[in-house]
Chain A
Amino acid sequence: MEAFLHQILSGLAAGGIYASLALALVMIYQSTHHINFAQGEMAMFSTYLAWTFINAGFPYWIAFVATLGVSFVAGILIERIVIRPVERAPVLSVVIVFIALLVIFNSLAGWIYTYTIKSFPSPFGGSFFPQNPYMSPHEMGTIGVTFVVLILLYAFFRFTPLGLAMRAAAQNPVSSRLAGIRVGWMLALGWGLAATIGAIAGMMVAPVVYLDPNMMAGVLLYAFAAALLGGIDNPFGAVLGGFIVGVAENLLGAYVIGTELKLTVALVLIVAVLLFKPSGFFGRVIVTRV
Chain B
Amino acid sequence: MSALLEVTDLHAGYGPTNVLSGISFTVEEGGITALLGANGAGKTTTLRAVCGMIRRRGSVSFAGERIDTRATEDIVRLGLAHVPDGRGTFVQLTTDENLRVGALTRRDRKAVAADMDRMYGYFPRLRERGSQQAGTLSGGEQQMLAIARALMLRPKLLVLDEPSFGLAPLVVQDIFRIMRTVNREEKVSILLVEQNAKLALELADQAHLLETGKVVLGGPAAQIRDDETVRRAYLGY
Question: Is A182 a contact partner of B73 (Cβ separation < 8 A)?
Answer: yes
Output the least CB separation between B107 and chain A (Å): 10
Q: Does B77 contact A (CB under 8 A)?
A: yes
Q: Does B124 contact A (CB under 8 A)?
A: no
Interface residue stretch chosen among A97-105, A172-180, A222-230:
A172-180
Interface residue stretch chosen among A163-171, A197-205, A259-267:
A163-171
- Please give me the residue from chain B that is nearest to A172 by CB atom: B90
Question: Is A176 a contact partner of B53 (Cβ separation < 8 A)?
Answer: no
Interface residue stretch chosen among B29-37, B61-69, B98-106, B199-207:
B98-106
In the complex, A167 Cα to B84 Cα: how many Å?
Answer: 20
Question: Is B51 a contact partner of A165 (Cβ separation < 8 A)?
Answer: no
Question: Is B92 a contact partner of A171 (Cβ separation < 8 A)?
Answer: yes
Output the least CB separation between B81 and chain A (Å): 8
In the complex, A165 Cα to B73 Cα: how many Å?
Answer: 13
Chain B residues whose CB sits within 8 angstroms of the CB of A175 once the complex forms: 84, 88-90, 101
Give a binary string over B49-74; 1 marks a CB under 8 Å from any A CB, 0 the rest. 00101000000000000000001110
Question: Is B76 a contact partner of A164 (Cβ separation < 8 A)?
Answer: no
Q: Does B97 contact A (CB under 8 A)?
A: yes
Q: Does B4 contact A (CB under 8 A)?
A: no
Question: Is A178 a contact partner of B76 (Cβ separation < 8 A)?
Answer: yes
- Identify whether the interface residues of A are mostly helix, strand, loop, or mixed: helix
Chain A residues whose CB sits within 8 angstroms of the CB of B73 once the complex forms: 177, 180-183
Question: Is B104 a contact partner of A165 (Cβ separation < 8 A)?
Answer: yes
Question: Is B102 a contact partner of A171 (Cβ separation < 8 A)?
Answer: no
Q: Does A161 contact B (CB under 8 A)?
A: yes
Question: Is B104 a contact partner of A180 (Cβ separation < 8 A)?
Answer: yes
Question: Is B77 a contact partner of A168 (Cβ separation < 8 A)?
Answer: no
Chain A residues whose CB sits within 8 angstroms of the CB of B71 once the complex forms: 177
Known interface pairs A164-B97, A167-B93, A168-B93; A178-B82 also in contact (CB < 8 Å)? yes
Q: How many residues of B contact A (CB 8 A)?
A: 25
* Interface core residue of B51, B81, B88, B91 (most chain A CB under 10 Å): B88
Q: Does B149 contact A (CB under 8 A)?
A: yes
Question: Is A179 a contact partner of B105 (Cβ separation < 8 A)?
Answer: yes
In the complex, A271 Cα to B77 Cα: how many Å?
Answer: 47
Q: Choose among B91, B97, B101 the residue that contacts A176 (Cβ–Cβ < 8 A).
A: B101
Q: Does B10 contact A (CB under 8 A)?
A: no
In the complex, A174 Cα to B71 Cα: how many Å?
Answer: 12
Q: Does B116 contact A (CB under 8 A)?
A: no
Q: Does B153 contact A (CB under 8 A)?
A: yes
Chain B residues whose CB sits within 8 angstroms of the CB of A176 once the complex forms: 101
Chain A residues whose CB sits within 8 angstroms of the CB of B104 once the complex forms: 161, 164-165, 168, 179-181
Question: Is B88 a contact partner of A180 (Cβ separation < 8 A)?
Answer: no
In the complex, A3 Cα to B38 Cα: how many Å?
Answer: 76
Question: Is A179 a contact partner of B93 (Cβ separation < 8 A)?
Answer: no
- Please give me the residue from chain B that is nearest to A233 by CB atom: B92
Known interface pairs A164-B97, A164-B100, A174-B84; A179-B92 also in contact (CB < 8 Å)? no
Give a binary string over A141-176; 1 marks a CB under 8 Å from any B CB, 0 the rest. 000000000000000000001001101100110111
Known interface pairs A161-B104, A165-B104, A167-B93; A180-B153 also in contact (CB < 8 Å)? yes
Chain B residues whose CB sits within 8 angstroms of the CB of A171 once the complex forms: 90-93
In the complex, A167 Cα to B71 Cα: how many Å?
Answer: 21
Question: Is A179 a contact partner of B101 (Cβ separation < 8 A)?
Answer: yes
Output the least CB separation between A91 and chain B (Å): 20
- Supplied contacts A179-B104, A181-B105, 4 more A-B pairs, CB within 8 Å: A164-B93, A164-B97, A174-B88, A176-B101
List 25 interface pairs A-B (beta carbons < 8 Å), by A numbering: A164-B97, A164-B104, A165-B101, A167-B92, A168-B90, A168-B104, A171-B90, A171-B91, A171-B92, A172-B91, A174-B88, A175-B84, A175-B89, A175-B101, A178-B51, A178-B53, A178-B82, A178-B84, A179-B102, A179-B104, A179-B105, A179-B153, A180-B104, A180-B105, A183-B73
Top 8 closest pairs, chain A to chain B, by CB: A175-B88, A180-B105, A180-B76, A177-B72, A180-B77, A168-B101, A177-B73, A178-B82
Enumerate chain B interface residues (CB-CB to A < 8 A).
51, 53, 71-73, 76-77, 81-82, 84, 88-93, 97, 100-102, 104-105, 149-150, 153
Enumerate chain A interface residues (CB-CB to B < 8 A).
161, 164-165, 167-168, 171-172, 174-183
